[in-house]
A and B are shown apart, each in its own frame.
With several copies, the nearest count.
Chain A
């Protein structure tokens, strides 16, 4: 076995969402590569929550359907999980009705009794389970205790340590695996996609972040709010998403690196604002974390179904950059570069993610690279000799791009107008001006194209099947690639604007299969639109879950 999977489940409110990630970190600190995937409903109490960890001594990328070790904190787990013979299940089997009928490798921990005997509150159930899991998997208990110290209020640390120790008592036999922990990995980072976006933005010097909370984008807001004072960022939870994007545009107009982030419903409300940013050519970075819709849809689940929405959002036509990173590194670097692109080309830049990528935990060696540099584009420095002069803010300076001016600059006066306008920003509707502007604004595409990454081939060049994917679907494919040579895949980490002639070359001679978590195959649509290449074979999933590794392998085995 090259990977193991562990899962903890229980009702909402049981602390699954803190226990899971903590155990992922414990495994990482033990020298294993980890990937953690949460599932939960949009309810504060009562629904079923679970957290699935994949780990190995080799790199792991994504989540399996399979669960090797299941921690069942409550009987609801048995209603929600398929228990199989080979599964190791940690539970208080005494408190489960008809537990005799459950066929699996049982590890019984009398949680109820432990709580009662030690006068522990319910909430330490997790710690008992983590203790047991640690023991079972050979995780050093001090790693667990250290994590408790880092995570819990001082006064409850000891109680949790005690609880974990009790759990350990009931669990002697270490699961057999031939993993050799890797010392390098101990120093890796474990973080969510949203954390990679937030840290990328911080690195890039973001000054202003404004939005309205919306799952699964909210944790970007929370993260940035948490460090706002430390880094001197202004972070605003506004009255609605309209104000969220418009405030960010105001900030950007004033010269500050500004960003907003939301999910599809919020982006719907931001629609008009996106066009405003485009028309006044004010840089703007928009993180979009997708979830299934339409409308409120399935708030806590995942899908890649807003790509075409983003490609065509807002009335009329304008250049927008659409980045579709597929892992932590890409998220971090592309968020960083998104600010440069926005500043250099003065267009809205979307960084797309989805609930799976945004809220799951992944392992990465490091995110500090040399070579990350800030480029603010062309900015007019001012002319003290004629401070009150108007400046041709919308006159082409280079490559379709005009010079920005920060208000306050002497001699840089201009109007930033949602209306069509002359070089100075005054309303103009004559035919010539309109044509000049549209052509200039679109000319930028020619230059942006050269800066964006082309889709990249992963795996054996000559495999039978070539999956075509974007965004987070890279991850299950990377994981599946470990097990077969039958497929390779092409991953788009940017969709617009890119050089489609080059894409055609990359596609040449390959048996293409579109793989996306949406109903229609949106990237496939865009490929047809841009190249005329119609990908007939599609492997689509639209149930709110990411592709599980087994599903990909099955598909490949079936030969389609």
Chain B
């Protein structure tokens, strides 16, 4: 399938210029390049402008509750590990409401790809501060300015044990597409924080802001070093794009003898003989 064939046919309702368009294109491109068939892909989306991605992909889709993408994705993947599971969510969705699931999903290292559309704001609900919003920003819910320290989600992910941590940018679609491909190919939990300008509510974090600061990690960067990665995620002023950390760890499905061969979908749902079980109660 070609990238275009992954269009669902619904016209996106993002604001003109919104960074979500680029993410959309990158996902479609990645699916096409990897020669995946839409029927074998499940896109799990959160609630937010980011979550509307779901409507625009010709794949299976699950529009979860706000903040609950990762548990859905976990259930889906464990039940049918032949599916490619791609998760889209916002910074509010994933780092606010969903922060606990994020940490625990990382611990599991299940083979899914998690794309966070990090626009440093709540888009859909008209511009409240998110966990990645800078101190001082005035929003509807913080009219005197945010006073909570912004979260560095990549640093948290790394220290929670993430095996694949990357950063992409809506202004670099090709690069983002390649990252998503790497994420899908990675056998484990691939986490990609995507710098996504919100042209309507995201004041500071514009394309210009990012264009001045981003740079791409190249061959010379060793992404298997935890120290390197920590330095990168705490870097000030400049913003590194690319795979910041990637190591091999036990992938979660592989730790389940239940699904070594066939999927759970194939092996369960049939009546079982439990006479042996009942014997033990005699």
Using a CB–CB cutoff of 8 Å, the interface residues on chain A facing chain B are 12-13, 29, 42-47, 187-191, 195, 199, 202-208, 210, 212-215, 218, 221-222, 225-229, 231-240, 242-243, 246-258, 265, 272-273, 276, 280, 295-296, 366-368, 372-374, 376, 387-388, 390, 406-419, 425-427
Contact = CB atoms under 8 A, between A and B. Distances in A.
Interface size class of B (residues with CB under 8 A): 35 or more
Contact of A238 (B62, B71, B272): B71
B154 to A, nearest CB: 18
B126 A44 contact: yes
Contacts of B200: 13, 44-45
Contact of A213 (B8, B15, B128, B277): B128
A408 B39 contact: yes
Contacts of A235: 141
Nearest to B79: A254
A232 B66 contact: no
A250 B271 contact: no
Contacts of A258: 75, 79
Given A45-B13, A222-B141, A280-B62, 4 more contacts: A191-B281, A238-B71, A239-B100, A417-B63
Interface string B119-163: 000111110110100000000111110000000000000000000
Contact of A256 (B82, B142, B269): B269
Given A13-B15, A239-B100, A296-B47, A208 B125 contact: no
Interface of B: 1, 5, 8, 10-11, 13-16, 37-40, 42, 44, 47, 49, 52, 54-55, 58-68, 71-76, 78-80, 82-83, 96-97, 99-101, 103-104, 122-126, 128-129, 131, 140-144, 200, 256-259, 264-265, 267-272, 274-275, 277-278, 281-282
Contact of A367 (B11, B55, B278): B278
Given A246-B65, A251-B78, A415-B61, A257 B268 contact: yes
A250 B39 contact: no
B45 to A, nearest CB: 9
- Most-contacted residue by chain B among A205, A225, A231, A415 (CB, 10 A): A415
Given A204-B271, A256-B79, A232 B72 contact: no
Contacts of A29: 282
A227 B217 CA distance: 46
Contact of B16 (A45, A218, A227, A295): A45
A348 to B, nearest CB: 14
Nearest to A254: B79
B198 to A, nearest CB: 9
B143 A226 contact: yes
Contacts of B58: 388, 390, 413
Nearest to A266: B66
Contact of B274 (A43, A199, A234, A427): A199
Contacts of A425: 61, 63
A203 B271 contact: yes
A246 B144 CA distance: 24
A314 to B, nearest CB: 11
Contacts of A205: 268-272
Given A229-B258, A250-B72, A410 B264 contact: no
A250 B76 contact: yes
Contact of B83 (A195, A243, A265, A407): A407
Contacts of B59: 413
B258 A234 contact: yes
Contacts of A42: 124
B270 A215 contact: no
A295 B131 CA distance: 24
A13 to B, nearest CB: 7
A227 B124 CA distance: 24
A374 B271 contact: yes
B274 A254 contact: no
A415 B104 contact: no
A151 to B, nearest CB: 11
A189 B277 CA distance: 11
B237 to A, nearest CB: 28
A250 B83 CA distance: 13
A207 B72 contact: no
Contact of A232 (B83, B123, B268): B268
A239 B131 contact: yes
Contact of B142 (A218, A225, A272, A368): A225
Contact of B65 (A276, A413, A427): A276
A376 B269 CA distance: 8
Contact of A203 (B40, B76, B79, B274): B274
12 contacts: A188-B282, A199-B278, A205-B268, A208-B268, A212-B96, A240-B67, A246-B75, A250-B73, A251-B264, A407-B60, A426-B10, A426-B55
A283 B74 CA distance: 17
A240 B96 contact: yes
A232 B54 contact: no
Contacts of A212: 96-97
B131 A247 contact: no
- Most-contacted residue by chain B among A227, A256, A295, A373 (CB, 10 A): A256
